[in-house]
Amino acid sequence: MEQVLNQNVIDAVDLKHKKHIRILIITGFMFMVYLIGSIIHFDLPNLAKKWNKDRASMFMLDIYAHKDHIKMNWKDPQKIDVRFEGGHRHVYKDDPTWLIRNKNNQSTIVNFDNGGQFVFFPNRVEMRNFPNINEPFIFKLNKNGKPYVDGYVGKESMLPSWMRATENKVEVRPSLYERLQVYGSKVEVHRYELGWKYFWFDFDSPLVGKGFLDAISLMFNEDRVDPKISNFNLVVNEFLENEIWHHNTVLFAMVETLLMAILGTLIASMVGLPLAFLAAYNVTPLSSIRFFLRRLFDMLRGIDMLIWSLIFLRAFGPGLFTGIFAIAFTDTGTLGKLMSEAIENTDKKDKEGIQSTGANKVLQHRFGIIPQILPIFISQSLYYLESNTRAAVIIGAMGAGGIGLHFLGALMTGNDFENVAYMAILVLVAVMCIDTMSAKLRRLLIGIEDKK
């Protein structure tokens, strides 16, 4: 008997196991089919081909380095100027130490840290002393005004891989940090150096070259740099009005984005909580109001933040209001729904206890329900604050303004990658700050509630 029962049990388990395995195999197969189809659809095998290597390396280089442009026109070889990042306003008045002008043979030498040199002559450019490059290359113009590499005319394919000669341009890049471009009209050398130059103070600021600590100590120094205003104001003004890094606009945009997130969440929670009470069946007896509010929450939530921001963009124009209201509308729906469910899940004994003392409805809710839902309310609001900080950046880029829009703008210009990186880091720091702050606040507030 026992044996038979055991056999039955074993059979049943076996059957279930077989079914389980079958389902697993079928799901696995479908999963594989989907995966393969999608990989083909999204063109994953061509990932490497799509990856624009030049752009990516320029992007990376620009993030951690800056460059000086040294330019010579073939028509006026004596007039060589050095500009920071090639900017029109940023021409160095005094030659940097690595630029040596030799009056005797009319040459100008650009020195690099690895010992390499580009030497400008009125009729040619020479490349000397670069490590691991033994051959001295010489670049000249031919009779038609086209650039060429001396000794390599007609055998361009013999040139090293870091040099490229086309009809109108010779491009030389021995390493990432040196670059020479020879055109028919001009020669341009890019000299890269590590670091974010002029991050603290602008090119033509009186405080140029001062670091962060220098600036802080200068702030509290009695001797005025500029007799008209105090050092403190001077440092702050010069920092904010930096035209290379645009601290003024960027920082204000960051504040705008944070304000969007904070105000949007605040309004959502302040409107959502009372509505949640009205939508909970243990508070509102009228089912029509409840039904209406439930559908209102669904609508607010279902219309995406993107669509709300588009609608508000038309009404309020680009600015803070668009962001605030897009966030507030969406999250009123989400918080309202969450909180109304939380209110319905509260223990009704608390409320009955208050009711038995003869308290009226308002007091019953105040002391019977609110203490139960407050921790959930606070922690949910703070969670939404965190996700809204990210959302505000995104809405900003959609047109509402703030750091998102500046980020998009800087990326689209295609040559201010250091600003792109700066803003990305700023966003990262802001998001992390808000995350840690809200985690701390949550622990603090809910901790107090628990102890009570």
Which residues bind to another protein, rule: CB under 8 A? 35, 38, 41-44, 47, 50-52, 55-56, 59, 256, 259, 262-263, 266-267, 298, 301-307, 310-312, 314-322, 324, 390-391, 393-394, 397-398, 404, 407-408, 411, 414, 420, 424, 427-428, 431-432, 435
Q: Which is nearer to another protein, 190 or 390 (CB)?
A: 390
- The letter for the amino acid at 441 is L
Q: Which is nearer to another protein, 286 or 448 (CB)?
A: 448
Q: Which is nearer to another protein, 65 or 259 (CB)?
A: 259
Are the C-beta atoms of 336 and 283 separated by less than 8 Å? no
Q: Which is nearer to another protein, 187 or 393 (CB)?
A: 393
CB of 273 to another protein, least distance (A): 13
CB of 213 to another protein, least distance (A): 28
CB of 178 to another protein, least distance (A): 23
Q: Which is nearer to another protein, 87 or 302 (CB)?
A: 302
CB of 327 to another protein, least distance (A): 12
Kindly state the helix (H) or strand (E) to which residue 374 belongs, with its residue range. helix 370-395
CB of 199 to another protein, least distance (A): 21
- Which spans in 220-360 are helix H? 231-240, 247-278, 287-302, 305-316, 320-344, 348-356
Torsion angle, alpha carbons of 292, 296, 297, 302, to 10: 140
180: helix, strand or coil: strand
CB of 315 to another protein, least distance (A): 4
**Residue holding tokens 């508070």?**
283
Rounded CA-CA distance 111/93 in Å is: 18
- The letter for the amino acid at 243 is E
Are the C-beta atoms of 388 and 327 separated by less than 8 Å? yes
Rounded CA-CA distance 421/427 in Å is: 10
CB of 254 to another protein, least distance (A): 13
Q: Which is nearer to another protein, 236 or 303 (CB)?
A: 303
420: helix, strand or coil: helix
**DSSP characters over 54-110:** HHHHHHHHHHHEEEEEEEEESSSTT-EEEEETT-SS-B-SSPPTTEEEETTTTEEEE
Q: Which is nearer to another protein, 91 or 370 (CB)?
A: 370
